[in-house]
Structure formats: C-alpha cells, structure tokens
Copies of this chain bind each other. A is one copy, B any other.
Amino acid sequence: MKFSSQTLEKAVEALASLPSIGRKTALRLAIHLVQDTTDKTEKISEALTHLATNIKYCKNCYNISDLEICDICTEMYRNKELVCVVESVRDVMAIEETGQYRGLYHVLGGIISPIDGIGPGDLNIEALKTRVGKGEIRELIMAISPTIEGETTTYYISRQLSDFDVEISTIARGVSFGGELEYADELTLGRSIVARTPYGVEKE
C-alpha cells in the first residue's frame, strides 16, 4: 500500500496489529475515522488508554476487573461454595449471560496445550488449589472446552485436587436445544445417549 500520509500509515499499521484485522480492513477503519466528524476517534483512543492502564485481574478468581477483587466475587447473594472453572474471561461472560448460575468463578487463563507451549505452570492452577485449600468450596464445576487439551486440563486439575474434600463435576454435554438430531455429530449424539438423564428430573 502506498500512503500519502504517514499519520494514516501508522494508524493502519496499529489497527492491523489486532487479530482478524488485515491491512485492507485497517485502512477502511482508519479512513472511516478520518472522515468521521464526531469525537469517535478520541473516544476509542481514550477507552484503549484506560484499558491499558486501569484493567486488573481479580486477585481471587482472575476475572477482568476494575478493582483488586471483582464484582462477582464481592456480590453478597452468590453461593461461595460453588466455583465454576473456565478457560477465559469470555467464558465467564457467556455463563453470566445465561442467568442460570449463582456461584463464583475461577479463570485459568488458558488450557494445558504442549503444542502451544502452555504447561500447568502458566495457568492459575496453584491459585485454584489455594482457594480450594481454604475449605469453603464444596463443588468445582469444570466448564472447559471438550477438546483433547480441555480434557487434559480437567484431568490434571482433578488429580491435583484429589487430596482435597471437594466435589468435581463437568458441565453436561449433549445435543443442543433447538438442534436437530440428524445434524448432531456422532460423538455428541452417542455420548448424549450414554449419559441420558431421567425425564422430568433436573438438578438444582
């Protein structure tokens, strides 16, 4: 690309450093911002500056937070005996979105993946052990992706916590609501038959 403006070129390069934003998209976004007559550009710039300086990770659950301890951990009405273990902050948001869960979380910050060079030491597993060690947690719900890496992570954590008096469960796998049986993959369909649940009975 040939730029008539270095300022524009730098903005395009900066935007193109974001994942899934190529140089053509970055150029489109930059030109949109140049042509914008509101204070949109300043707003984005300011929001990102705040993001770089103000964001913390909750010291308890490692969720993204504005304070030392996040809103979820400090909410009074939550069941502090129940902790849902997830891979990332986005999973916390997805589960919160359902409105079905009233426990706390523990964000691992990834899953064990030797190919990507991510070992147990790179994740917040020691902090989870410390949390469980305090004896307040009754159940850990493992809400980890059902991939090989995810299963490995769940298995590793369950082994690490075998000496503690804590129940470990995993979220239910099965055919999606609204999904048609014939389009479900074989593994999911097979498992959903093996792990069938009594009709009309739902766990609290």
B residues within 8 A CB of A20?
25, 28-29
Chain A, interface size category, equals 35 or more
Query: Are A47 and B92 interface neighbours, CB within 8 A?
Result: no
Copies of this protein in the complex: 2
- Give A1-42 as 1s and 0s: 1 = Cβ < 8 Å from B's Cβ atoms: 111111110110111011111000101111111100001111
Q: Which of A59-67, A132-140, A150-158, A159-167 touches B? A: A59-67
Looking at the complex, which one of B2, B31, B46, B72 makes contact with A88 (CB distance below 8 Å)? Answer: B31
Within the complex, the shortest CB–CB distance from A140 to chain B, in Å, comes to 20
A6 vs B51: C-alpha distance in the bound complex, in angstroms?
10
Interface centre among A39, A41, A63, A72 (most CB of B within 10 A): A41
B residues within 8 A CB of A65?
4-5
A1 vs B93: C-alpha distance in the bound complex, in angstroms?
7
Query: Are B14 and A64 interface neighbours, CB within 8 A?
Result: no
A51-B7 contact, Cβ under 8 Å, with A18-B29, A40-B17, A43-B17: yes
Closest chain B residue to A57 by CB distance? B34
A33-B8 contact, Cβ under 8 Å, with A27-B93, A28-B19, A93-B3: no
The reply on A81 being an interface residue by CB < 8 A is: no
Closest chain B residue to A30 by CB distance? B51
The reply on A168 being an interface residue by CB < 8 A is: no
The reply on A189 being an interface residue by CB < 8 A is: no
Query: Are A66 and B11 interface neighbours, CB within 8 A?
Result: no
Query: Are B43 and A45 interface neighbours, CB within 8 A?
Result: no
A92 vs B45: C-alpha distance in the bound complex, in angstroms?
27
Query: Are B96 and A2 interface neighbours, CB within 8 A?
Result: yes
A92 vs B93: C-alpha distance in the bound complex, in angstroms?
43
Residue numbers of A with Cβ under 8 A of B are: 1-8, 10-11, 13-15, 17-21, 25, 27-34, 39-52, 54-55, 58, 63-66, 70-72, 88-90, 92-93, 96-97
